Amino acid sequence: MTRFVFVTGGVVSSLGKGIASAALAALLQARGHKVRIRKLDPYLNVDPGTMSPYQHGEVFITDDGAETDLDLGHYERFTGEHARRSDNTTTGRIYSNVIARERRGDYLGATVQVIPHITDAIKEAVVSDTDGYDFVLVEIGGTVGDIESLPFLEAIRQLRNDLGHENTMCVHLTLLPYIPSAGELKTKPTQHSVKELQNVGLQPQILLCRSDRPIPQTERQKIASFCNVRPEAVIAALDVDTIYACPIAYHEQGMDREVLRYFGLPHDTAPDLSRWEKIVRGVREPKGEVRIGIVGKYTALLDSYKSLAEALLHGGIAQDVRVHMNWIDAETLEDPTQLENQLRGMDGILVPGGFGERGSEGKINAVRYARENRIPFLGICFGMQMAVIECARSLAGLKKASSTEFGPTEEPLVGLMTEWARGTELLRRREGGDLGGTMRVGAYPAKLVEGSRVAAIYGKTDIRERHRHRWEVNVHYREVLEKTSLRFSGMSPDGVLPEVVEYPDHPWFIGVQYHPELLSKPFDPHPLFSGFIGAAKKEHQTREDKA
């Protein structure tokens, strides 16, 4: 029997429903249960793929090629379970599907309405593909009281009746603000938020209260009385120094025990949290440190690089060092005089993915600085493409080397691929077509060259990594580039699409067309990030020895 836990939020947004859901899933896993997490997003976009990173943060990619909410990255990093397309549903996708069915005549001439057609589609999305799981956690995006989330809340109300209250529960995340002038935590916002939830027919069984300090017993009792929950079900979600401490902190507050108690499941034994205790020790008590310069174009909102930051942290855990991340706006490096000011002292330089010409020259300058100064370098997706262009300009004599993404060019080192293989299927795209869903996106295989540095890092030559891009390095320039010291050390299985480049004579210089950060976990760091941070650690030690 699959049990469903619905996670809602109130008072304000950005309280951490995604982390709370992921932490609860990790606790249930630690007790031996099989868990899956899903996200319902109330915005009208079909998916976040065409949204600005400044609007929505990172787009997280699944193996099956879905462009999803960044919270799915948290789900994967906490549980190790690979997310699927069915794990992220938006209002836009629901309405698109319902309207398409109406146009086909599937509703047999009925008037199509929010109830029952939209709510039925939401319910179908929630329960589909969940066989074999003990728990399915469903996070509802947005804040209770928003008009956009009403159909989702109504669908949940119906589902609780359909599946039975004994098989479903609601966890509501709220805020307990501290008012310095009064010297106390205020419970009224939580009371009002729960009242909003009750107005749509939902009664939470657990309240997860975000606070920067412990909740006094009097306030806990007051919340329980006004919100119609057990005092033990008022869980303090206190601020922690690392998100990976959340499973431990929530267990100490009794959250997992309360969930299991509600469902009538055994809850007296303690879960095995040794994995999380080891990770937290690695974050809090490293033996060294490194400084990484990240040259990006969305540095004003670091959620744009959420998985990247976490993967660097994972690499630090693997190498037992603290990773200091210096976020550098690529546009500032278009002035060559700024290179030394901003990159001097870095133990490693990373150029991440991105779209568009803005900041590209700064990224190319950063690549050249890393190559010439023999600083460990990792280029990801767009970062690899800029590394190839830098090589063409600086070492191969192709001064006009560029990407067709930036406009017409005489030397298209990077171009729009019009077709590529996905398994036995041939996918096509055309310039000027819809942006949504037209990228090479999802997990694709690659073949690494035996004896290459990247093959040694992976410990194998056949890999499978997640992609998200429209432009590819032009393989027709391979021969001229390999006459320099650059090597194409990874290709698609058919040998058409470059996947990895490296400089064998450089201490550590690798560019990859895919996004390795999407597969990194705190308990299983991606080998490229572990290797990159290891090289940065060596660079830091060399720097200290010289000093």
Q: Is 57 annotated as a binding residue?
A: no
User: DSSP letters of 326-367?
Assistant: EEEEGGGGGSTHHHHHHHTT-SEEEE----SSTTHHHHHHHH
Q: Is 47 annotated as a binding residue?
A: no
CA dihedral 24, 29, 34, 40 (to 10 degrees): 20
User: 544: which residues sit within 8 A by CB, 6+ positions away?
Assistant: none
Report, as residue numbers or ranges, the catalytic residues.
381, 515, 517
With H, G, I as helix, E, B as strand and everything else as coil, classify residue 6.
strand
Paired with 427 in beta bridges are 420
User: 30: which residues sit within 8 A by CB, 6+ positions away?
Assistant: 247, 271, 272, 273, 275, 276
Q: Is 460 annotated as a binding residue?
A: no
Spell out the alpha helix ranges (H) of 108-245.
119-127, 150-163, 188-199, 217-227
Paired with 235 in beta bridges are 208
The confidence band for 299, taking pLDDT boundaries of 50, 70 and 90, is confident
CA distance 480 to 496: 16
41-65 per-position pLDDT tens digit: 999 988 888 887 777 789 999 999 9
376-426 per-position pLDDT tens digit: 999 999 999 999 999 999 999 999 999 998 988 899 999 886 643 444 444
Distances, alpha carbon 292 to alpha carbons 161, 285, 344, 388, in Å? 52, 19, 11, 21
Mean pLDDT to the nearest integer, 525-546:
94
Q: Is 360 annotated as a binding residue?
A: no
pLDDT at 422: 46
Helices 188-199 and 217-227, axial angle in degrees (round to 10): 20
Q: Which amino acid is at 75?
A: Y
User: Residues 282, 241: contact at Cβ < 8 Å?
Assistant: no
Mean pLDDT of the chain: 92
pLDDT at 544: 85
User: 196: which residues sit within 8 A by CB, 6+ positions away?
Assistant: 10, 144, 145
User: Residues 386, 351: contact at Cβ < 8 Å?
Assistant: yes
User: Residues 191, 219: contact at Cβ < 8 Å?
Assistant: no
Q: Is 123 annotated as a binding residue?
A: no
pLDDT at 418: 62
Q: Which two structure tokens, joined as six digits, stand for 535?
A: 């090289």
pLDDT at 328: 95
182-231 per-position pLDDT tens digit: 888 999 999 999 999 999 999 999 999 999 999 999 999 999 999 999 99
* The length of the chain, given as a count of residues: 547
Q: Is 334 annotated as a binding residue?
A: no
CA dihedral 483, 487, 492, 498 (to 10 degrees): -70
Q: Which two structure tokens, joined as six digits, stand for 138?
A: 């469903």
Mean pLDDT to the nearest integer, 81-106:
95
Q: Is 212 annotated as a binding residue?
A: no
| Structure-token match 């009002």, residue found | 192
Q: Which amino acid is at 411?
A: E
Spell out the alpha helix ranges (H) of 353-412.
360-372, 382-394
Given a cut of 50, is residue 435 above it in pLDDT? no
User: Residues 153, 183: contact at Cβ < 8 Å?
Assistant: no
Q: Give the percent of the chain with pLDDT over 70.
A: 96
Distances, alpha carbon 34 to alpha carbons 27, 31, 124, 223, 241, in Å? 11, 9, 21, 32, 28
Q: Is 49 annotated as a binding residue?
A: no
CA distance 390 to 383: 10
CA distance 144 to 10: 5
pLDDT at 420: 39
Nearest to 246 by CA among 15, 423, 53: 15
Q: Which two structure tokens, joined as six digits, stand for 45?
A: 């976009």
Q: Is 189 annotated as a binding residue?
A: yes
pLDDT at 375: 97
Q: What is the pTM of this model?
A: 0.93
φ/ψ of 446, rounded to 5, equals: -145, 155
pLDDT at 47: 87
CA distance 260 to 233: 12
User: Residues 58, 70: contact at Cβ < 8 Å?
Assistant: yes
Q: Is 282 annotated as a binding residue?
A: no
Nearest to 474 by CA among 501, 452, 446: 501
User: Residues 23, 139: contact at Cβ < 8 Å?
Assistant: no
345-366 per-position pLDDT tens digit: 999 999 998 888 888 999 999 9
CA dihedral 92, 95, 101, 107 (to 10 degrees): 170
Q: Is 190 annotated as a binding residue?
A: yes
Q: Is 188 annotated as a binding residue?
A: yes
Given a cut of 70, is residue 16 above it in pLDDT? yes
Given a cut of 80, is residue 179 above it in pLDDT? yes
Tell me, what DSSP letter sits at residue 90? E
Q: Which two structure tokens, joined as six digits, stand for 156?
A: 């949940």
Distances, alpha carbon 412 to alpha carbons 151, 263, 403, 489, in Å? 48, 60, 5, 21
